[in-house]
Structure 1
Amino acid sequence: MASFSFFKQAKPKTPSELVKATRYVLFGLDSKLPSDPKALEEAEKNLAAIKQALLGDVETEPNPEQISQIVLEACRGDFLETLVQKLPLLTWEARKDSVQIWSVLLRQKIGISACCLEYLENHLHLLDLLVICYQNKDAAINAGAMLRECARYPSLVKYLLESSSFDLFFGYVELPNFDIASDSFATFKELLTKHETVVSEYLSVHYAKFFGRYEHLLSSVNYVTRRQSLKLLADILLEKQHSNIMMQYITEVQNLRTVMTLLKDSSKNIRSLAFHLFKVFVANPRKPPSIVKVLSQNCAKLLSFLEDFHLDKEDEQFEEEKEMVVKELEGLADQE
């Protein structure tokens, strides 16, 4: 006697259906209620399937047609918005897959259209939501990776720098959680170094506000914050495209005092980094009288410091630069 099955095997979802189904299950997650384990499991399974379709695996190459379907549905159905909104509620594995999905989607082009990038450019508030995710210890590192992917694109960096959410980074980089603080600094640095023209325009307009806040990082009680901030400051100021910003910075007495304070830091690494900025103040051929006055008043102490200041290993360039600084300071001392 023939046997019949009353249950049909579920038909595999098309890529578009998979994205729709994933958005639907994500949309149902509620931050105010305990998450349904079955919904979380389904979200994790679906996100893993989307990642596999986009990236392939050891046995299967990704199918360009399937990728195009996923990209189009992701843009058409607000999948990206839902993914960002629900990121903190997902499981660890699902958040990890979300980062990879986000990165692949942003890089995809269909013809000449970068569909997902254009979607973000029209939904810029999602970048602010990702920045706020640094306040969630579970999602912070994942959101940081997604923001650094956004930093590949000048239009998104421009928005982030101009956004009020950018100010949050000045607090994030000093969070007590070392991993989150380090990750947020990596994002902060990426935003300030990836696209020189965008950054130069931002600093020109917001010079006083930015460097006023930045000074607090340079005087932080946290050694890592001081060192990273000083290194980043040197990278920014010594970038050729930021020459106007550097000239403005090295004509201000408060900035010179800050760098001179860092020359006395207990850390040799920080003293070395501070010297690379200090030499620019001294070497400036058009030093304003206020800068000359401060250098002249501190000549004896500075020369005494430089006499004993050496790097751990021989560095010909450093020795030449130190000699130049010493000669310039001695010249100021002779004018007294």
Structure 2
Amino acid sequence: MSTQVVVPCFSTPMKGLFKSKPRTPADLVHHLRHLLPLTAPNPDPRTSKRRQKTCDEVRKVIHEMRTVLYGDERLEPAEEACVKLTLEFFKDDTFRMLIVCLPNLDPGTRQDVTHVIANLQKQRVNGRSVASDYLERNTDLLTMLLPGCDDSELALSYGAILRDCIRHQVAAKFVLESGHIKTFFKYIQDPSFDIASDATSTFKELLTRHKSTVAEFLSKNYDWFFKEYNSLLESPNYISRRNAVMLLGTMLLDRSNTSVMVQYVSSLDNMRICMNLLRDSNKSIQLEAFHVFKLFAANRTKPQEIVKVLVANKSKLIQFFSDFTFEKADEQFESDKAKVVKEIVILELKYQACSTLKRNVKKSPGEASHLAASVLC
């Protein structure tokens, strides 16, 4: 008589019974801090497998952090968990360790790191930005993120993190006032398109986000800054010229920079650079240059040297603007162009009247005539 042995099947009810308990936000940060120093490359081949396992574990931890902050296809992020992760992350030097060890991680993990840091930078706890407070105490970290890395993939990760940092005014102010912004003039023209493009994005963020800080910086550093900036406008690199003239228009048209704009458009050298850009072979550069040139034409306090150049080139300018158009030109563009032409025509009439009055003053030098000439001219 045979006995049939029935083996109980636990596959369905027992599934997931022995799953590890999800790590808390604090556990994730503590575990990451423990792992990061172990990701450093080691020439000893016997440690390569161990290091690879560590890097794989780091990737998992970073992915878990990303899930906490962004949620997944099943769950939305929990506010309490985001707050706890933010506080734990910025409480000690996890941010510093992550930046230092970023070169040890693979590109996929680096990308997840930038997403995690981007979210943590935006988190607010009791109305305060924990990231801003941290950066105010650790401004030296910003220098580690500045352009200067020859590894384009790593440079892109650093650039993304830096742009998230300078969303905080304290960080942007540090980069501007410490003189590190000079670094960007080099890397904006880097032969590597990725590095140049990333540096340009960060440069624009620095010079447009925090209005009062930027206006103060430009006023204090006008001479050297625009000397360097004009070299970008005259760069043989088409992309550098295009990006530079676009950003210039954005800066000068911002109301916070009115005093800087008046100073810039009062320079004959600056106007000559702009007029050369109007003749650029690229249409988009021509259009952006026009948005800057119209400021020179609209300036009510034009220096006499600028007036003379505009009057001397009146015919050429009017002919140029009569042919100056684009496929997608709108009413605003046509209106601005008409105003520029009108200003140049009126300027010649004023200049001729001024010249006539000055000649009369020389023939009959009276106090009233001198006064009239000074007011008109």
Shift of 1:276: 1.8
* 1:81 aligns to 2:93 (yes or no): no
Query: Aligned equivalents of 1:195 and 1:11: distance in 2?
Result: 44
Corresponding residue number in structure 2 for 1:326:
341
Once the two structures are superposed, residues 33-76 of structure 1 have per-residue CA deviations (whole angstroms, 9 ceiling, x without a partner) of 68732222122122112222222212233344433332222122
Q: Which residue of 2 aligns with 1:5?
A: none
The answer to whether residue 33 in structure 2 is matched with residue 18 in structure 1 is no
After TM superposition, the structure 1 = structure 2 runs for residues 164-313 of structure 1, keeping only pairs within 5 Å, are 164-313=179-328
Does structure 1 retain, via aligned residues, the 8 Å contact 2:147–2:199? no
Root-mean-square deviation (Å)? 2.4
* Paired-residue identity, %: 39
| 2:316 equivalent to 1:316 | no
In the alignment, which residue of structure 2 is the partner of 1:148?
Answer: 163
- Tell me the CA shift for residue 243 of structure 1: 0.8
2:103 is equivalent to residue 93 of structure 1: no
Aligned equivalents of 1:269, 1:61: Cα separation in 2: 43
Distance 1:301 1:32, change over 3 A: farther
Q: What SS class does the counterpart of residue 180 from structure 2 fall into?
A: helix
In the TM superposition, residue 130 of structure 1 has moved relative to its aligned partner by: 1.2
Deviations 1:113-147 (A, max 9, x none): 43232111110111121114654312222222222
* Alpha-carbon distance between aligned partners in 2 of 1:58 and 1:12, rounded to the nearest angstrom: 17
Please name the residue that 1:4 is paired with. Answer: none
Asked if the contact 1:50–1:101 (Cα under 8 Å) also holds between the matched residues in 2, the reply is: yes
Corresponding residue to 1:71 among 68, 86, 108: 86
Structure 2 CA distance, aligned partners of 1:319 and 1:292? 23
Alpha carbons of structure 1 residues 310 and 72: separation in structure 2 relative to 1, 3 Å: closer
- Structure 2 counterpart of 1:105: 120
Distance 1:61-1:306 versus aligned 2 partners, 3 A rule: closer
Distance 1:28 1:266, change over 3 A: same
- Find out whether 1:29 has 2:39 as its counterpart: yes
Paired position in structure 1 for 2:4: none
**Shift in alpha-carbon separation, 1:241–1:33, aligned structure 2, 3 A:** farther
Superposed counterparts of 1:127-142, under 5 Å = 127-132=142-147, 134-142=149-157
Out of 309-318 and 219-228, give the one that drifted further. Answer: 309-318
Describe the shift of the 1:72–1:308 C-alpha distance in structure 2 as closer, same or farther (beyond 3 A): closer
TM-superposed deviation, 1:331: 4.1
Letter of the aligned partner of 2:182 in structure 1?
D
- Does the 8 Å contact 2:135/2:170 carry over to 1? no
Cα distance in 1 for residues equivalent to 2:212 and 2:251: 12
Give CA-to-partner distance per residue, 1:169-202, whole Å, 9 cap, x none. 1122222222332222122111211121111111
Judging changes above 3 Å, is the alpha-carbon distance between structure 1 residues 64 and 318 closer, same or farther for their aligned structure 2 residues?
Answer: closer
Q: Which runs of 5+ in 2 are unaligned?
A: 1-17, 356-377
* One-letter amino acid of the structure 1 residue matched with residue 29 of structure 2: V
- Which SS does the other structure have where 1:139 is aligned? helix
Q: Which moved more, 1:93-102 or 1:34-43?
A: 34-43
State the one-letter code of the partner of 1:23: R
Alignment check: 8 A CA contact 1:134 1:141 kept: no
Matches of 1:288 and 1:53, distance apart in 2: 60
1:236-281 Cα offsets, whole Å, 9 max, x none, are 1011121111000011111111101111111122122212211211
| 2:308 partner letter | K
Q: Distance in 2 between matches of 1:132 and 1:296?
A: 44
> Distance between the aligned counterparts of 1:169 and 1:279, measured in 2?
28
Q: Hey, what's the Cα distance between the residues in 1 that align with 2:266 and 2:19?
A: 75
Could you say what secondary structure the match of 2:73 adopts?
Answer: coil
Aligned residue for 2:153, secondary structure, equals coil
Answer yes or no: is the 8 Å Cα contact 1:88–1:138 preserved in 2.
no
Q: Deviations over 1:271-326 (max 9, x none)?
A: 22212211211221211112123323333432332232222245333333333322
Q: Which runs of 5+ in 1 are unaligned?
A: 1-7
CA distance in 2, matches of 1:117, 1:11: 33
Instruction: Name the aligned partner's letter for residue 19 of structure 1.
Output: V
DSSP-derived class of the 1:53 partner:
helix
- Aligned pairs, number: 329
| 1:186 maps to amino acid | S
* Structure 1 residues 220 and 190: CA distance shift in structure 2, 3 A: same
TM-score w.r.t. length of structure 2: 0.80
How far the C-alpha of 1:218 sits from its partner, in A, is 0.6
